[in-house]
A = this chain, B = another copy of it.
Amino acid sequence: MNCINNVVIIRYGEIALKGKYVRNRHEKTLILNIKSMLNTCGIKYEDIFRDWGRIYIKTADPRAIEAVVKVFGIVSASPAVTCEPTLESAASVSAEIGRDLIKEHESFAIRPRRSGKHSFSSQEIGVACGNVVFEHIKDKNPRVDLTSPDKEIFIEIRQNHGFVFTDIVYGMGGLPLGTQGRMVALVSGGIDSPVAAWLMMKRGCEIIPVYINNQPYSDETSRYKAMECIKVLQSWAPERPFTVYEIQDGESLSAFLSNCDSRYTCLLCRRMMYRIAHSIMNKENACGVITGSSLGQVASQTAPNMMAETSGIHLPIYHPLIGFDKTEIVDIARNIGTYEPSVLPGTDCTAVPEKPSTSAKISQIYHEEEKIDIQELLKHALSGVKMVNLL
């Protein structure tokens, strides 16, 4: 009998809470995204189909599970063996699986589940299959323990299919990428901004990464780190190639350094970044700008400064990390693969003043900006836009 996993069961969470129309649309997008991920990873499959509350991929490729749990919207997945939707078939497959799974003297439990119309209850699946497994591996002296077993065998009997599996691999949750509009994501190559962009992708947003190049105040290493982080983010959005913008904005920094109070350099620089991002957002018909700001993490990220950063600029701005601790951000960065590129050796921006203002007044910022021609600097920066090819 063939007990090779031949299907991947996919479970999703928040999508199932939606109304019929939205749910149907989200499920379709999710299937599209699963196909893209499998294609990109070179994983062959026979079919992908939906059944109430589940998606199934017909594939025997063991790499499929690792690939699909990277697809946003998936809560968990299990490689499984299919069987007929009968007690006999489920029991016989479970027995085969049990023989490999359960070692000498180990305890086990059957975790049964049922949907559709059947002549047996969930409990009856558990008893019938448990008995058959027990008899089949009696020589190993097994024990049944439903509370804290060494091994578990999950059996799902649905209307037209049955499944037996032993593993539940957790996914990232969220919503299917592409269901929640598009946003510009400012990516600097530090630890935070890629995590912020990723969190919005997890919630279904497509992103348009923007890297603001401050050369000669930053160097090629910063640019390299940012692009490597963007490549990692791209791996979470297979077959949806990013449009990546790179903007040279060193001239603005030069203007601030020559003309303005140096305590406000970072703030003036951020305001220029937001103006650039806003302009790209409008051009791309996107819905917002994502930043990696979190409150109080660095000297310039105070509440008064953050208020001054956007005053008079008026853009829909999102700071997904605003309530996060640094350790929480680092944990996510490690988990999603952006940590390594973002901590590569690099030079910090050389324009950062020794004593940045921590409680900038908006009137003061306006006063500083009057000393320079902001619109001209913005026009200049935007005229030098480069589209980056990540390959």
Contact = CB atoms under 8 A, between A and B. Distances in A.
A180 B295 contact: yes
Nearest to A183: B303
A87 to B, nearest CB: 34
A173 to B, nearest CB: 5
A239 interface: no
Dominant SS among interface residues on chain A: loop
A179 B287 contact: no
Contacts of A173: 325, 327-328
Report the copy number of this chain in the oligomer: 2
B203 A299 contact: no
B203 A322 contact: yes
A175 interface: yes
Interface residues of A, number: 48
Interface of A: 13-14, 17, 19, 22, 173-175, 179-183, 196, 199-200, 202-205, 287-288, 294-297, 299, 302-304, 306-307, 310-312, 314, 316, 318-328
Given A22-B299, A203-B324, A203-B325, 18 more contacts: A14-B296, A14-B325, A14-B327, A173-B327, A173-B328, A180-B295, A180-B303, A181-B304, A200-B295, A200-B323, A203-B294, A203-B295, A204-B296, A287-B304, A288-B303, A310-B316, A320-B322, A320-B323
